[in-house]
Structure 1
């Protein structure tokens, strides 16, 4: 588990900004030019925790260059690409601020909203402030449609506490962050985990901007994976769907049986391949769907039993002796985030 920061540092840092990034060399200059003035204008101690999720471009090189003139920038480099939610977990595990903001590097979520989030949390005593997208016209029609379906489905399965159109741009209090760190979940979906905590929350609204540069890191395949993790991680409804599909198949089988007996009684016993083919295909499809749903849940159980670390850290520039923070060599400060043991 990550080492606890010393009490003095934890008390002095008011705000931590966690930014997971993977191959974001094209957008980094724009991100720094917009984020740094915002944080400097807060007039409070802060840190920026940039989590390099195993980038293969010049992201690590650019981060090292920006650190030379920006002491508040802290780089946590993962040994391999572990995924957006795992990189976000790494940042939350290491952030020391009294409040922690998670922000994507693509600038579709405006960093200029951070002071408003902090003011709202402090003024109303909130532990969570969501950034809610009220205008997604910059997204494609397909993405807006799929996002709408996703949030409607999640609110139905996980409950109305899930804020519609709220992604991973949010502010968390230290109490909320510590509660998240204590959870044993390995395949985390924070847009569902955070509302599940039940802490007092508020929201700020904004218009979602186009990506400043580079390509999206959430293509269709990853969006589908996120949806599957969301559904199977927070609801047993798919298993109930399998049950209903089985019941429906049983009804169809009864209908085919009645049809067969009627045809036999009327002497119409000429074999008909259409009804036979349709019945076999339908029942086979239902069985495969049910097996697939069961397999998804069994796979999650298998992953939980393995209890493998969610990520491995190659180095953290805030760790004593880490590359960029001392005279140690490559790999100093390396550690893994191991989920808490289950009873």
Structure 2
């Protein structure tokens, strides 16, 4: 039996050797053949050199190097496509995902009948307060407006059967939100909780604004609620404007001597309603933009080099 370990990497030259050393400790405890698939997502440091060195020393280490930075979602998809194991796990190279959970995850699949074991953080200790606050609100919002339910604190770190992986690979859209895709395919899933960990080395590439953009992408991928909001807003203000016109006409008929005044308030209302209209157009634009990208049928990623092209071998 083979276990494929998929590891996306972006500027992780320092953490790669540490990660592999820690995984070797776990590998010795498990009766599985390990297959490591590192994805170099257009790193600007010496990540590719570290991967070349590692793959030249160990036959079970593979890597895929992109032609540029395509994002973690593309890296995950590439790793899933390249995996050959009966079981597949996705992990971060910074060791925020505890390797020691793997034996328990395997046990839950082999002996408890689960198809997928997902990890989740019990807390967000060490994370900036504003990021924790917005992350919590995101999950509350997405679970209210989407039919695909997502668990607060759930990580991409999970162990899946080959059947689950093959189902995910059938979802080949360009706009990818893996947490939603993993939930959408279904299957019998359980969760393992662990306390939050700091990175073993290096700096995260996820800024607050990148996470916010990622969250907006997730909402538009798995909910039509923003489109409904645009429709309801248009209907509400159209009704309000109609009632206002009727009120002005009736008032003029009843009291023709009363002059219609209040230009300042009218201008404010026009600006306010105009802003709502632009907001609704922006929401529509987000969805139309996604349709536009999907119709281009561009590849999700482009491979520049793999372990087969390794000059160090």
Q: Indicate the TM-score class for this superposition, using the shorter chain for normalisation.
A: over 0.9
Q: How does 1:143-222 map to 2 (within 5 A)?
A: 143-159=131-147, 161-222=149-210
Contact conserved, 2:53 with 2:312, CA < 8 A, in 1? no
**Which ranges of structure 2 fall in alignment gaps of 5 or more residues?**
none
TM superposition shift of 1:315: 2.0
Whether the aligned pair in 1 keeps the contact of 2:145 and 2:225 (CA below 8 Å) is yes
Q: CA deviation at 1:190?
A: 1.2
Q: Which residue of 2 aligns with 1:18?
A: 6
Sort the Cα spacing of 1:86 and 1:160 in 2 relative to 1 into closer, same or farther, 3 A. Answer: closer
Report which stretch shifted further, 84-93 or 117-126: 117-126
What is residue 341 of structure 1 aligned with on the other side?
Answer: none
Q: 1:207 to 1:256 in 2, by over 3 A?
A: same
CA-CA distance at 1:123 after TM superposition: 1.3
Aligned to 2:299: 309
Question: Does the alignment pair 1:106 with 2:94?
Answer: yes
Cα 1:270–1:103 change in 2 (3 A) is: same
Q: What are the superposed Cα offsets for residues 255-314 of structure 1, whole Å, 9 maximum, x if unpaired?
A: 543564577537443632321122111111111111111111111111111111000111
Deviation at 1:167, TM superposition (A): 2.2
Q: What is the root-mean-square deviation of aligned Cα atoms in Å?
A: 2.0
- Secondary structure, in 3 states, of the residue corresponding to 2:302? strand
Select 1:55's aligned residue among 17, 32, 43: 43
Quote how far apart the aligned CAs of 1:57 are.
0.4
Equivalences, count: 311
- Equivalent residues of 2:145, 2:223 under 8 A apart: yes
Q: Distance in 2 between matches of 1:311 and 1:193?
A: 18
Larger mean Cα displacement after TM superposition, 255-264 or 69-78: 255-264
Give the 3 Å change call, closer, same or farther, for CA 323–174 of structure 1 in structure 2: same
1:196-234 deviation line (CA, Å, top 9, x unaligned): 111111111101112222222221222122112211111
Are residues 251 and 214 of structure 1, via their aligned partners in 2, closer, same or farther at CA, if it must alter by over 3 Å? farther
Higher relative contact order (CA 8 A, sep 6+): 2
Of residues 257-266 and 155-164 in structure 1, the stretch that sits farther from structure 2 once superposed is 257-266
Q: TM-score, structure 2 length as denominator?
A: 0.92
SS at match of 1:85: helix
1:108–1:258 CA distance, 2 compared to 1 (3 A): farther
SS of 1:135 mapped into structure 2: coil
Moved more, 145-154 or 237-246: 145-154
The secondary structure found in structure 1 opposite 2:122 is: strand
Contact 1:253 1:279 in 2 (8 A): no
Which deviates more, 63-72 or 233-242? 63-72
Gaps of 5+ in 1: 1-11, 327-343
Match of 1:73 among 58, 61, 65: 61
Distance 1:73 1:287 in 2: 54
Question: Residues 23-76 of structure 1: CA distance to partner in whole angstroms, max 9, x if unpaired?
Answer: 112322332232221223213201111100010101111222223433322111
